[in-house]
Structure 1
Amino acid sequence: MSAAPSSSPRSYTSSLRSEQAAQTRQRILDSAAECFATNGYAGTSLADIAQGAGVSVETVKLSGPKRQLLLSAFEQRFSGSEGREPLTDRADARAILEISNNDEFLLDLVRFIAQANARTSGLWSAYISAATSDPVIGESLAELLKRRRNEYRAAITTFDDRRMLSTDVNRHELADALSFLMSPESYAQLVEQAGWSTKRYVDWQVHAIRRLILEA
């Protein structure tokens, strides 16, 4: 009697279909991100997303309603994957936390957030706009802002643990100020509108954080 094959044709076909489905969803989310960033939430249709992804409107609908496509596209552009895991759970973020030199740590942290803001350029404005008219997106935005406050409070705790804070100040106020400095709005105003280079923006952020946060 011959030995059974190590893998069945059925499992291979299933794996192939899963991979193709993942690639299709990726194309749809990439197209959604570009459309929302360029045309805004209200100005984007499922047909626009379908055309950009090279699929039918019905295929786009299978990936979720318009609001979910916005939320998923934003999550993926900002953190690199769908879902609401904190940025600190990403491998590249953990690598930054392991940097022992405080100057290098601060520079890499600022670059990390600046890159995330660059990836969501335009998409953030669409998110904010959609939240004013769609209660589901509004709830998602409120939860996102809450998570962001907690992440910046954790960043202030990290600064404190690394003995980077010079005085005993209100940690929550410092976290609010840090969130403001590193916000998508600051990136949009200085890089996209004022025309600063990314290097100029990062250098300014490092200087501002040192003066306004670490030396407060």
Structure 2
Amino acid sequence: MPKAVNRPSGLRAEQAALTRARILEAAREVFELRGYGGARIEDIAVGAGVAVPTVYKTFTNKKTLLAGVVERAMTGADYAGDVDEQDWWQEQLREPDPARQLRLIARNARKIYGRAAAVLEVLRASAPLDPDIATTWDDVFAQRLRRSHRTADTLLAKAGGRARFDAQETAVTLLSLTRPELYTEQIGLGRSPARYERWLGDVLVASLLTGG
């Protein structure tokens, strides 16, 4: 009897999660193609294969939908929490070798921005036009800053005398060199994502450690 009661609930939750993922993927494509102002919920609904009211029921409005798209793109997961909860981010934090840690940071930046750079640009460009979108953009920056400080602390703990800077300068350097705008610029100048990763790893190691 309990199974008969619980099964529909589990099925509904699974169907809701799949619907949410389809809406987010369709929304990402529409936002990237048309920008925030040009994106229409009707087009997103068509892309997701759902009715327009389903989009509103799931995300309330276009602003919260954009925020959901950004979160999904940053983490690479449908239900994700924060970037620093992901296994691939924790891997760089736990890496015992400081140079290897910096190269894992470069790998992670390439992975994140390969998914998220375009929609982050939509978010950045729209932020001056709407206070709620501006808050989302500020939250993205605040989370990046927090992760940079956390990474800097672990890097200095293992780098010892090889560290070029103190924790504050290390965090600021990490934040500056892993900006999404820099990824977009490098790709626009002809670097492949793989070359971006190698370049960023080399720059981080040379900037933050002595002795290579």
Q: TM-score surpassing 0.5?
A: yes
CA distance in 2, matches of 1:167, 1:124: 31
Shift of 1:30: 0.7
The structure that has the greater radius of gyration is 1
Secondary structure of the 2:3 match is coil
Instruction: Measure the CA separation in 2 of the matches of 1:164 and 1:34.
Output: 45
Distance 1:201 1:83 in 2: 28
- Asked whether the 8 Å contact 2:74–2:112 carries over to 1, the reply is yes
Question: 1:167 and 1:20, CA in 2 relative to 1: closer, same or farther beyond 3 A?
Answer: closer
Change (3 A) 1:13 1:6: closer
* Deviation of 1:36 (Å): 0.8
Q: Provide the residue aligned with 2:21 in structure 1.
A: 26
2: CA distance between counterparts of 1:170 and 1:149? 16
Query: Normalising to structure 2: TM-score of the pair?
Result: 0.89
Are positions 1:186 and 2:151 aligned together?
Answer: no
- The structural deviation recorded for 1:45 is 0.7
SS in 2 for 1:40: helix
Tell me which protein shows more helix as a share of its residues.
2
Task: Give distance in 1, aligned partners of 2:97 and 2:124.
Answer: 37
Which of these residues, 118, 122, 125, is aligned with residue 118 of structure 2? 122
1:204 equivalent in alignment to 2:199: yes
Specify whether residues 104 and 170 from structure 1 end up closer, same or farther in structure 2 by C-alpha distance, changes over 3 A only: closer
* RMSD over equivalenced CA pairs, Å: 2.2
Provide the C-alpha distance between the structure 2 equivalents of 1:61 and 1:86, rounded to a whole number of angstroms. 24
**C-alpha displacement at 1:6, in angstroms?**
5.6
Check 1:101–1:159 CA distance in 2 against 1; reply closer, same or farther (3 A cut).
closer
In the superposition, the TM-score normalised over structure 1's length comes to 0.88
Match for residue 99 of structure 1?
95
The 8 Å contact of residues 165 and 213 in structure 1, kept in 2 or not, is answered as no
Verify: 1:47 aligned to 2:4, yes or no: no
State the number of aligned residues: 210
What does residue range 41-190 of structure 1 map to in structure 2 within 5 Å? 41-64=36-59, 65-81=61-77, 85-163=81-159, 166=162, 169-190=165-186
**C-alpha deviation, 1:82, in angstroms:** 6.1
Looking at structure 1, the residues matched to 177 and 158 of structure 2 have their Cα atoms a distance apart, in angstroms, of 20
Gaps of 5+ in 1: none
